[in-house]
Structure 1
Amino acid sequence: MGNTVCLFGGCIDQASVGVIEKWGRFEKLAEPGLHFFNPFAGQMLAGVLSTRINSLDVKIETKTKDNVFVQMLCSIQYRVVKQNADDAFYELQNPREQIQAYVFDVVRAVVPKMNLDELFEQKGEVAKHVLEELAKVMGEYGYSIEHILMVDIIPDPAVRKAMNEINAAQRLQLASVYKGEAEKILQVKKAEAEAESKYLGGVGVARQRQAITDGLRENILNFSNKVEGTSSKEIMDLIMVTQYFDTIRDLGSQSNNTTVFIPHGPGHVRDISDQLRNGLMEAKSANLDGN
């Protein structure tokens, strides 16, 4: 390409090397530039080889150890070794076919020893095996293998679909585990919140009852000091009646209250008071018996 040759001379382009013959036999290699030949002495330019890097894409179909058929796209970058250009010119007629044949041979010897997952993980090892074998063989013919890349690994479409489904199922399973853990945490936190709420509610009720008890005791003491001759029972009856009428008034003044109807009458206040008093006395008696 781009080399000018005439009967008495020729121009060899940069990144190329010429092969000069004398009487049909190899004589020497010609560097880039202008060269003159003596046709009367049997000297001529037999051919020109490029020393640029060439690229060859090879598509190989093979199967893995787990019997999955795959297609592998391999890219080989090679060049003519300038010092051995005569070997490249005379030894190989079609270097591309020779390289492709060796790539097929090495790949189909290495890949069947690997599972599909191992092939994806170790495709660099496959490229390394191919590079070592090609460098050893093609070096004898004046070619240098610069790089080998395993560009793509394409499994059968049915296998790819199955792999995607397996991956999706695993992710769904992991999502279910995370969702269950989140629900568990929410339930635990909710239970802790309810327990804390009930505890605080109990503390509030206890404080309320303690305040009511303290208030009643203070009222009884104040009433006894100011009104002589009254007993504690009479004072409690009076307080109960007062509380009873206050409750009736509150129920009547607010229309949005839920009203519970109970037996009505001042005499029932005394019954409630007696029931409370009897309950307290029974509890006190039970504590004394237990001691």
Structure 2
Amino acid sequence: MLALAALVLGTALSVLVAAGVRVIRPWEVGIYIRLGRFMGVLRPGLHWVPPFISSVYRIDLRTQVVDIPKQEVITRDNSPVVVDAIVYFRVVDPKKAFFEVEDYRMAVVALAQTTLRSVIGDMELDEILYNRAAINARLRRILDEATDKWGVRVESVEIREVEPSPTVKKAMEEQTAAERERRAAILRADGERRAAILQAEGEKQAMILRAEGERASRVLRAEGERMALILRALGEAQRLRILAAASAAMTPQALSILAMETLQELGRGQAAKIVVPYEVTRLLETLSSHLAGAAEKPQPGRADVEVLQEALQRLEQLLGPLPKSEDLMSEVKRLQEEAEQLRRQNPEKLEELLKPPKELAEEPAKNQAKQKG
């Protein structure tokens, strides 16, 4: 009998102990109430409370996420929009969250709905679309101040979607398309302006280069003609010197022989010619006397060297000194350098520059015409 009583007593004690055991998980706290009185907050771990007269209510301390349902709001510029948001909050004071509000989760959702409607209704549509970060910060500040007395801290509020009405959306699409067309027109106009400026700059540079090339080619052509005239004049002067030096030692017989050779040269042409020398009788007399009795006449002596030198000095004073070969070569080298520079700058003018002057090109034809004539 005693054994049965002890067994019953032990079983009752075991049930009583088991009924009073409470395990609080790491992310929770427990509100301990006994006989209607608040006894304290149970921290994570194993706790025993008197059964049947005590109650423990668990409160989650982790960050909770609630979705604010979509709602239609009229903005300050009378544009209807549908908005929804997400609120992140956590319980920081379990006692207030349990005793100050009946259901803190439902209270946070309702407060977020009304606050979101109030904030969106006080703003214009463009401001809502482009300033979501400012709206989020404003909502979080208002909600955090309001939920502080509930022991709840609002960590973040995010506007998830802002959807204007179909009419407003169509108007916004047309406005965006018009803005894009305006920007495209501005870009096209700017591109055309830049292209016109660049084209004008290119034409100006081309005209400058053409003018520079033309000027250089004219200068070189004139320089070439000048050098050709100088060389022809120097050749003529040299020829005159040689003739003057040779004529000092010529006798009348030699002059007569040269005259006959000239007549023979003229007679080689195919055309009929009539030549009447200025002193033909004198020429015939000289030839006849030379052929008949030239041996009896005294032979002229050699030209005096001093007389010949004096004649050459007079020619030197009259015609000037002959240019040296070094001067001519330096002048030719300078012309070649200018021609090379012109070839690099304006190759089209090189062929015109290398052509002989018109007088030099026509001189062989004039000589042939004289021979044929």
TM norm. shorter chain > 0.5 = yes
Larger mean CA deviation between 85-94 and 132-141 belongs to: 85-94
2:88 to 77, 82, 97: 77
Distance (whole Å) between structure 2 residues aligned to residue 90 and residue 160 of structure 1: 49
User: Is the aligned partner of 1:87 residue 2:99?
Assistant: no
Residues 230-283 of structure 1, C-alpha deviations (whole Å, 9 max, x = no match): xxxxxxxxx977634879xxxxxxxxxxxxxxxxxx8xxxxxxxxxxxxxxxxx
Opposite residue 35 of structure 1, the aligned amino acid is H
Which runs of 5 or more structure 2 residues have no equivalent in the other structure?
A: 1-16, 244-356
Residues 77-102 of structure 1, C-alpha deviations (whole Å, 9 max, x = no match): 11122xx3233234434434322332
1:169 to 171, 177, 181: 181
Aligned to 2:150: 141
Counterparts in 2 of 1:100-249, with a 5 A limit?
100-156=109-165, 157-158=169-170, 161-162=173-174, 164-218=176-230, 221-222=233-234, 224-225=236-237, 226=239, 243-244=361-362
Aligned to 1:53: 63
Residues 164-195 of structure 1, C-alpha deviations (whole Å, 9 max, x = no match): 42452244134224412430332132222222
Distance (whole Å) between structure 2 residues aligned to residue 34 and residue 154 of structure 1: 50
- 1:107 to partner: Cα distance: 2.5
Distance (whole Å) between structure 1 residues aligned to residue 84 and residue 39 of structure 2: 41
- 1:203 to partner: Cα distance: 0.9
The answer to whether the Cα contact below 8 Å between 1:77 and 1:148 also exists between their aligned partners in 2 is: yes
Distance (whole Å) between structure 1 residues aligned to residue 227 and residue 86 of structure 2: 96
Distance (whole Å) between structure 1 residues aligned to residue 63 and residue 189 of structure 2: 54
Which runs of 5 or more structure 1 residues have no equivalent in the other structure?
A: 229-238, 248-265, 267-291
Aligned length: 232
Aligned to 1:275: none
Partner of 2:19, secondary structure, is: coil
Distance (whole Å) between structure 2 residues aligned to residue 118 and residue 9 of structure 1: 56
Change (3 A) 1:163 1:242: closer
The answer to whether the Cα contact below 8 Å between 2:35 and 2:54 also exists between their aligned partners in 1 is: yes
Change (3 A) 1:160 1:7: farther
The structure with the greater share of residues assigned to strand is 1
Aligned to 1:34: 46
Aligned to 1:250: none
Change (3 A) 1:167 1:75: farther
Change (3 A) 1:244 1:19: same
Residues 41-91 of structure 1, C-alpha deviations (whole Å, 9 max, x = no match): x2232x21111110123244434444444444422111122xx32332344
Percent of aligned positions that are identical: 20
Opposite residue 78 of structure 1, the aligned amino acid is F
- 1:31 to partner: Cα distance: 1.6
Distance (whole Å) between structure 2 residues aligned to residue 26 and residue 154 of structure 1: 48
Distance (whole Å) between structure 2 residues aligned to residue 174 and residue 92 of structure 1: 60
Partner of 1:139, secondary structure, is: helix
Q: TM-score, normalised to structure 2's length?
A: 0.52
Structure possessing the higher radius of gyration over alpha carbons = 2
Q: TM-score, normalised to structure 1's length?
A: 0.65
Aligned to 2:22: 10
Opposite residue 51 of structure 1, the aligned amino acid is L
The answer to whether the Cα contact below 8 Å between 2:83 and 2:159 also exists between their aligned partners in 1 is: yes
The answer to whether the Cα contact below 8 Å between 1:56 and 1:76 also exists between their aligned partners in 2 is: yes
